[in-house]
Structure 1
Amino acid sequence: MQLIDQLNDSIRSLAGFWPELALIAAIVLVVLTDLVFSPPAKTGYLGSGPNAAAVTKNRVIQYSLSVMSVVGVGLLLLDQWTLEKGFLFNTVLLLDNQAVFYKLVVTLAAFFAILHAWLVRRPQDTLPLDWLPILLALLLGLYLMTMSVNLLTIYLSIELVSISSYLLTALSADRKASEGGLKYLLFGAISSAIMLYGMSLLYGLLGTLSLTDSLNELTRNDSLVIYIAGFLTLAGLFFKLSLVPFHVWTPDAYEAAPTPIVAFFSVAPKAAALLVLMRILTALPANFQTPLAVISIASITLGNLSALWQTNAKRMLAYSSIAHAGFLLVGVIAFNETGFEAATFYVATYVFINMAAFLLTDLLARQENKELTMQDFSGLGNQQPLLGAALTVVMIALTGLPPTVGFTAKFLAFSSLLEAHQANGNPWLLALFGIGLLNAVVSLFYYLRIPFLLYFRPAPATALPDKKLNRPQLILATVLTVPVLFLFFQPNWVLRWIQGL
């Protein structure tokens, strides 16, 4: 009888699992169409030789299918918002409004990443079409992460995300991509092993893998054991968030991977990891506020100071993402309702800011250069006034200055932190508040360096003329940049949605 009940529960759970099933079907469809339409001989990324037309046709089919799949899954998620919520598959997954919202965030990031790769083709970002089904598999892993309320499903979904990320980093046929992917893999394996050991300790303490069961039994154990088990378990999430000390892979992986993939890495896995982090911290009875504040301070400071010395634009944005991961943690550290809402608002708006940053740097970088160096932007503000202005807005948003939504996100996060300090008097929260604001000043020096080069430095005499940008590229840049300004004046459009989670 119990087996029949489990079977009925699984069948009932399928009603809340349609976006994931649709994504699995999309992965199979994209792989099969690639097998059917790909020409027998490889003729290069841009297409050349007798099979150039077949290559172009296959590329259009693959990208069109991927975009339509992501849009279709997004529509299913919007429909899911109004459906009945609850546990799926015997309480290993939880479908609630938080999960749906975060799934929409990562879906939006995937949509922009695919369009970025489709519309901006640079010689150094020679992505084979195999990256599309891998990206969809990564998106599936992120969906499962957002719904996971069981330690086993959390681990399996993180591993699906990690393996897909390793493949995407090393997919390009050059040595730097292989090295970056290998470094990513090694650090990922270490963090995965540490996390699995921590989960085994928690299972030994709890006797259950579910985060929804009562965890009061932990209070009868020594607090040191709770802290050790908790931090070991959180190691995998720190790795996904690029937090110190699991940040070492970030600059090399960001530099090695093609820019659209890097843009996706910088926001989507962090969004899903943030929700899992909040759920684990809420479930554990121990107070991790002080150690997390130390990690946040270290991440913000190290990321900003390291970014100051970078000459490569992608490495600068990589270190910047480490600092932003620390800022993202600020709302979580507050450990109150306004803090969690601030962290959710931060990650939701960070999608537009960071995806726009990588797209605009990709569009403005001269196509003949192998590296996205900072000096490549010299004098481009006058040659490309629209893109130059858009990149300036995005850099101001990354700094956290008005009139951009970056200011609103940081303001909400630090306001919740100050509220938490007033409630419990923890001095580390005040230290985080002060050091975080000082680091925002430090970030001015490297973020505003790009607008300075755009408008106040002449283009190099040896620079080759830029290729003219087409209308779809300009439309995509506008779609990503406008919300950065608009949400500063109308943040309630997102906040009302978040407060209803």
Structure 2
Amino acid sequence: MSLTDQLNDIINSLGGFGPEVWLSASFCILLVAELLFVRGTSLLKARRWLAGLSVGIVVVAGIWAMLLPTRGHLFMHLLFVDNQAIFIQVVVALSAAMVLLYEAFTTSEQVNFQPKLPLEWYPLLIAMTLGLFMMTLSVNMLSIYLSIELVSICSYLLTALTADRKASEGGIKYLLFGAVSSAIMLYGMSLLYGMTGTLDLTADVFGAELAHQDTSVATVALLLTGAGLFFKLAGVPFHVWTPDAYEAAPVPVAAFFSVGPKAAAVLVLMRLVTALPTEPVLGGATASSLQTPLAVLALAGILIGNLSALRQTDAKRLLAYSTIAHAGFLLVGVVAMSQAGFEAVLFYVGTYLFISLAAFFLVDLLARSNGTDLTISNFAGLGPKQPLLSVALTVVMLALTGLPPTVGFTAKILSFSALYDAYQLSGNSWLLALFVLGLLNALISLVYYLKIPFLLFFRPMASTTDGQQSTSAPKAAIGLAVGLVIPIVILFLKPELLLHWLTNW
């Protein structure tokens, strides 16, 4: 391609890159605004202004992405815009807006339950959102790596941003595991480049050359490349950092970690799977070569997440292990390797946004109302005292389990239906094992998901000790958290509201 053609391609690509340019410029503006507000106003006013600006920035980015007319490759096949990428961008923007609003609503002079996030968290969250937007568009292994690193660096900083020892320890553990997964991913990418001669996952030569490679060698290279994706997904075996990082991070940060990176990572994983050939050449690698290892990893994530959650005494650590289990459930649709499976994954992501954020917000508000920390035993007897929050949390726990009348039931039905169809076509016994054991794990998860509702309504409240006093939870934060429960029920009654968007948009 001549230099003139390259310049024209870059100029034409800018039309589909608007939200990312907006987030990049906004990040720089927020850094300057932070300095100006700190010097010119009080800390509380500066926080309010920066929170308002940040919410406006991510909302504009999400709306811009939805209205984007451009589809196709950008910047000489570095990025690719399609409906799936735009859907994940909307999920990321919506989750970022929700956590920013929640942090703003719960930050006041009267609310001192946990250390306040410093003002630097606003530009860092915008930078992380930019990295997630880039991940959703990336189809070149170089752009995939760079966007994952941008997300990872912001994640490390957000985890260790508060000035306490637990946050520092959580950030260091997060960083160490992230460095290991990044190195493994780069090694896998170098192997794939050596096999195919290209970094572009959408290039015809990528699939054609992998089809000529030995199945075991190509599968190992692909799994090594997926290390960075499994790290962001909190999937086995790169899940060890999750409980410590979630416990160390403030609730808004942990809530965003549970949604944004998972949504972007699972889309990149689907792109990697669909880049593989469907038919082998002389016994070479195909998409079905990844079915068994992915099924094993999905099953391991479901089992480890659920079994580890049984013995947790801290609500945030319990939700952290819950996200590991749900990472396994997200992989169920990917393992199916069908159009129905991929649509089920996107539906799961879209609904998990409301379920996960509501879970983190509600347990935090209940703890605030009791003036205690997030130890599960402290929730005893709060049901009559906080009936609205308690009923809402019970609905959310049912959704996390996958029981009606919540959309968690619908999401799991769609995923496992696609998995069973894939088993009937392939006869792979690992798919059947994932199907049976995955559904049985719903019974295991009942034990710990319903533990908090049981304590809320059927155990007496412990006496207040150590000078802890009850405080009234902010009404705006309560409205936001309870409002997130409404789509969980509505999408169970009318799942076509989201399915129609996914299939026809």
TM, length-normalised to structure 2: 0.94
Contact 2:106 2:474 in 1 (8 A): no
Aligned AA for 2:213? N
CA distance in 2, matches of 1:315, 1:373: 10
2:396 and 2:113 map into 1 onto residues whose CA distance is: 25
Q: What is the deviation of 1:470?
A: 3.3
- Range 71-80 or range 172-181, more displaced: 71-80
Determine if contact 1:366/1:376 at 8 Å carries over to the other structure.
Answer: no
Specify the alignment match of 2:32 in structure 1: 32
Aligned residue identity for 2:177: F
Shift of 1:123: 3.6
What is the deviation of 1:5? Answer: 1.3
Q: 1:445 and 2:447 equivalent?
A: yes
Task: Find the residue that maps to 1:106 and give its secondary structure.
Answer: helix
Which residue pairs with 1:471 in the alignment? 475
Alignment partner of 1:126 is 2:116:
yes
Q: CA deviation at 1:79?
A: 1.2
Report 1:38-437 matches (<5 A). 38-39=38-39, 54-80=42-68, 83-121=69-107, 122-214=112-204, 215-285=207-277, 286=286, 287-366=289-368, 371-437=373-439
Give the corresponding residue for 1:46.
Answer: none
Q: Which letter maps to 2:470?
A: D
Instruction: Give 1:471 deviation, angstroms.
Output: 2.8
Q: Distance in 2 between matches of 1:377 and 1:132?
A: 31
Please report how far the alpha carbon of residue 465 of structure 1 lies from its aligned counterpart in structure 2 after TM superposition: 4.7
Within 2, Cα distance between the matches of 1:226 and 1:76?
39
Note if 1:493 corresponds to 2:500: no
- Structure 1: unaligned runs, 5 residues or longer: 41-52
Q: CA deviation at 1:478?
A: 2.5
What CA deviation, in whole Å up to 9, does each residue of 1:278-304 have, x standing for no partner?
A: 000111233200111111111100110
SS, match of residue 94 in structure 1: strand
Cα distance between partner residues in 2 of 1:416 and 1:27:
41
How much has 1:370 moved relative to structure 2?
Answer: 6.5
Q: Which amino acid aligns with 2:78?
A: V
* Distance of 2:316 and 2:411 partners within structure 1: 23
Which one-letter code corresponds to 2:292 in the other structure? T
SS state of the match for residue 288, structure 1? helix
Equivalent residue letter for 1:333: V
The 1-side partners of 2:378 and 2:229 are apart by 35
Name the aligned partner's letter for residue 442 of structure 2: A
Secondary structure of the residue that 1:103 maps to in structure 2? helix
| CA displacement at 1:56 relative to structure 2 | 1.3
Amino acid at match of 1:382: P
Contact 1:331-1:340 at 8 Å conserved across structures? yes
SS for the counterpart of 2:463 is coil
Q: 1:466: Cα distance to partner? A: 2.6
Q: CA deviation at 1:368?
A: 7.5
Deviations 1:64-92 (A, max 9, x none): 11011111112211211xx1311111111
Q: How many residues align?
A: 487
Which deviates the most, 161-170 or 469-478? 469-478
Counterpart of 1:61, as a letter, is W
Are 1:457 and 2:459 an aligned pair?
Answer: yes
* Residue 247 (structure 1) shift: 0.5
Q: CA, structure 1 residues 483+125, in 2 after alignment: closer, same or farther (shift >3 Å)?
A: farther
Deviation at 1:103, TM superposition (A): 0.3
Shift of 1:381: 0.8
- Consecutive unaligned residues of structure 2, counting only runs of 5 or more, are 278-285
Secondary structure in 1 matching 2:484? helix
Report the residue type matching 1:398 in the other structure: L
Name 1:47's counterpart in structure 2. Answer: none
Q: Contact 1:124–1:370 at 8 Å: present in 2 too?
A: no
Comparing 71-80 with 100-109, which one deviates more in the overlay?
Answer: 71-80
Q: Deviations along 1:117-170, whole A, 9 cap, x unmatched?
A: 111244424210101100100000000100001010000000000011000001
> Is this contact kept in 2: 1:349–1:405, CA < 8 A?
yes
CA shift for structure 1 position 21 = 0.9
- 1:221 is paired with a residue of what secondary structure? coil
Report the alpha carbon displacement of residue 208 of structure 1 after superposing the two structures with TM: 0.5
In the alignment, which of 469, 476, 483 is matched to residue 487 of structure 2? 483
Within 1, Cα distance between the matches of 2:307 and 2:260?
Answer: 24
Q: Distance in 1 between matches of 2:424 and 2:213?
A: 30
Q: Distance in 2 between matches of 1:336 and 1:455?
A: 43
Q: Distance in 2 between matches of 1:163 and 1:337?
A: 33
Q: Deviation per CA, 1:78-122, whole angstroms, max 9, x where unpaired?
A: 211xx1311111111001111111100111110111111111244
State which drifts further: 458-467 or 329-338: 458-467
The one-letter code matched in structure 1 to 2:394 is: T
Mean Cα displacement is larger for which, 368-377 or 101-110? 368-377
**Alignment deviations for residues 309-354 of structure 1 (CA, whole Å, 9 cap, x no partner):** 0000000000111001001100110111100000110011000000
Under a length normalisation based on structure 1, what TM-score does the superposition of the two structures give? 0.95
Q: Do the aligned partners of 2:347 and 2:411 also contact (CA within 8 Å) in 1?
A: yes
- Render the CA deviation track for 1:342-375: whole Å, top value 9, x for unaligned: 0110011000000000000110004686731001
Paired position in structure 1 for 2:280: none
Name the SS of the counterpart of 1:208 in structure 2.
coil
